[in-house]
Structure 1
Amino acid sequence: MSIPSALPTLFISHGAPTTALSGTPAHHFMKTLHDLVPAAGIRAILAVSAHWETDQPMLGAATRPETIHDFYGFPQPLYELRYPAPGDPALAADIADLLNAAGFKAATDPRQGLDHGAWTPLLLGFPEATIPVLQLSVQPHRDPAHHYALGQALRPLREQGVLVLASGSLTHNLRELDRRGPQAPVLPWASAFADWVNAALTERRDEDMVAYRAKAPEARRNHPTDEHFLPLFVALGAATPGLPAQALHRSMEFGSLSMDSYRFA
């Protein structure tokens, strides 16, 4: 297998569980992920999902990670979806060692499966499910700087054929969603935040991003809590310093749920 010198890192806004089946622009974008990063060049995928929260960094080390349906009240076809990708326990242990060498207290969990933050973009982008996948947790009680440093420690993996795919949400205020549907009119406070993030990422103003709570417009309203934004900082930290991010997709659903996704070289 031919492995490129360094894979990019990705941040994907995975949206509601229904993204896996919907015909939204974000759904169609995720189906192009295999064109952006051809599977032939990927040894394994490290999925950093907002839906796995732990006190310290944890690596999923299941041989066959189960598909976790970590939601309720949705249409039955969603619960029938499976993503039967293999795991890679040995790689999980190696990544835990890499993080521990950088000062993080990382460990592995042989029981952890793939939650919908991980399997939604993978199911659409790499439907063959042949590439080994393992998850890395986020620490919701820690700040963006912690997750940025976590990404920096993971940077060598890119030269080993490991695709860092961070999955969260560019905005995430579920209380203010317009429940009329994905095509609801875009709310100004959400678009202002998404536009600020787009400028900061494409200009690689990493320090501003890490301090987004103080610098971004309507930061608290767009992210009452950090957990869905934290995966972005892992992808950003693992990226090559100084190189601008590429906006892969930009759209808004339910008035304020940004589906923006980015590629970092």
Structure 2
Amino acid sequence: MSRLPVVFVSHGAPDALLKAPEAVACWRDIGRTIPRPTAILAISAHWEARQATASLSGAPETIHDFSGFSPALHAMQYPAPGAPALAERAVSLLTAAGLAAELHPSRGLDHGAWVPLSAMFPQADVPVTQLSLVRNADPAAHLALGQALAPLREEGVLIVATGSITHNFGWLDWQASGAPTPVPQAKGFADWVAARVAAQDVAALLDYRSAPHGSAAHPTEEHFLPFFVALGAADGDRPRRHQPPFTYGGLAMDAYVWRDPAEAN
């Protein structure tokens, strides 16, 4: 088997499964077009810990870590089995690379993980564990996490990082429906990211806050940090950019899939 791809998805607002059909279709297509993994390592913007932490849960809880959305969303469950052996392997790789890491006995899947996975693997039959971000650590530190985790791709593991290419609530129109015209600054930053990714300009991406609209796109960094984990695990592979419509005008829903050239279409 060639090494598995690395996936980054902008997971949007928690109600993406109900209100972003094009994004859901994109996630579904990604799931259909990659080799079936033996397990999934999910890295979401919605779990930060003092050091990289992987969950040992054998039956991860579906965490509804939001409020004010449809009761239908709160009723959704994603009953995938856990992957405690993968959690232990991930921590082993990180510690071998000199990075602090630990295990959590029971952490479940937050909406950043289970929302896109519900579309990518709707049968919930692929074991999954979640790995935290590192609180107060910068993009370079998260790039290093991904680099340390890259060997998992050779072991049948799909690395799925989820966050957002843009995440400024001041840019959002919560009353917008359908596919509203994107905020120009959000579109500009998303296109800048795409250009730098295509050029494999890692240095510029790490310094994204100096880019036009970079700081505004991410008033806080946690929603962009999973992208750097994916970029590190990609190990130089070139990605395909997927561009579902923006949601609420300001949330870029871009997804990236890095494939081994031996496996890429």
Asked if TM exceeds 0.5, the reply is yes
Does structure 1 residue 261 correspond to structure 2 residue 255? Answer: yes
1:144 maps to what in 2?
A: 139
Question: 1:174 and 1:91 mapped to 2: Cα distance?
Answer: 35
Residue equivalent to 1:239: 234
Q: Distance in 2 between matches of 1:191 and 1:176?
A: 11
* CA distance in 2 between partners of 1:135 and 1:96 (Å): 12
1:178 corresponds, among 173, 178, 186, to 173
Residues 203, 245 of structure 1: 8 Å contact kept: no
Residue of structure 1 aligned with 2:98, choices 93, 103, 107: 103
CA distance in 1 between counterparts of 2:184 and 2:203 reads: 25
Give the ranges of 4+ consecutive aligned residues of structure 1 lying more than 4 Å apart after TM superposition: none
**Alpha-carbon distance in structure 1 between the residues aligned to 2:90 and 2:144:** 14
Q: 1:176, CA displacement in angstroms?
A: 2.5
Is structure 2 residue 192 aligned with structure 1 residue 192?
A: no
Structure 1, unmatched stretches of 5+, are: none
CA–CA distance in structure 1, aligned partners of residues 102 and 244 of structure 2: 35
Contact 2:43 2:132 in 1 (8 A): yes
Cα-Cα RMSD: 1.2
Cα distance in 2, alignment partners of residues 114 and 179 from structure 1: 25
Give the C-alpha shift of residue 140 in structure 1.
3.6
TM-score (normalizing by structure 2):
0.94
Q: List per-residue Cα deviations over 1:47-106 (Å, max 9, x = no partner).
A: 000000111000011010010000001110101111111112122112111101111110
2:197 — aligned with what? 201
User: Is residue 211 of structure 1 aligned with residue 207 of structure 2?
Assistant: yes
Confirm or deny that 1:134 pairs with 2:160.
no
- CA shift, 1:136, in A, is 0.7
Q: Distance in 1 between matches of 2:20 and 2:144?
A: 36
What is the deviation of 1:203? 1.6
Partner amino acid for 1:25?
Answer: E
How far residue 17 of structure 1 moved from its aligned partner, in angstroms, is 1.0
CA contact (8 A) 1:140 1:226 kept: no
| Structure 1 residue 34: Cα displacement | 2.1
Cα deviations by residue, 1:179-227 (Å, 9 ceiling, x for unpaired): 222433211111110000010111211111111112x211111100100
Contact 2:171 2:183 in 1 (8 A): no
- Which stretch of the first structure deviates more once superposed, 104-113 or 17-26? 17-26
> Which residue of structure 1 lines up, in the alignment, with residue 262 of structure 2?
none
Corresponding position of 1:154: 149
2 CA distance for matches of 1:153 and 1:46? 13
2:80 equivalent to 1:85: yes
Letter of the 1:221 partner, please give it.
A
Q: How far has the Cα of 1:23 moved from its partner?
A: 4.7
Q: Match of 1:252, SS?
A: coil
Q: Look up the SS of the partner of 1:255 in the other structure.
A: coil
TM normalised by structure 1 equals 0.94
Contact 2:26 2:244 (C-alpha < 8 Å) held by counterparts:
no
Distance change >3 Å, CA 206–CA 23, structure 1 → 2: closer
| Count of equivalent residues | 258
Once residues 201 and 251 of structure 1 are traced to their aligned partners in structure 2, the CA distance between those partners, rounded to angstroms, is 19
Question: Secondary structure of 2:15's partner?
Answer: helix
Give the letter aligned to residue 200 of structure 1.
Answer: R
Following the alignment from structure 1 to structure 2, what is the Cα–Cα distance between the partners of residues 163 and 55?
A: 24
Tell me which residue corresponds to 1:30.
27
Q: CA deviation at 1:244?
A: 2.3
3-state SS, counterpart of residue 108 of structure 1 = strand
Paired residue type of 1:29: C
Percent identity at matched positions? 47
Distance 1:142 1:122, change over 3 A: same
Deviations 1:12-41 (A, max 9, x none): 0000111122253112211222222132xx
Within the candidate set 55, 62, 83, 1:60 is matched to 55
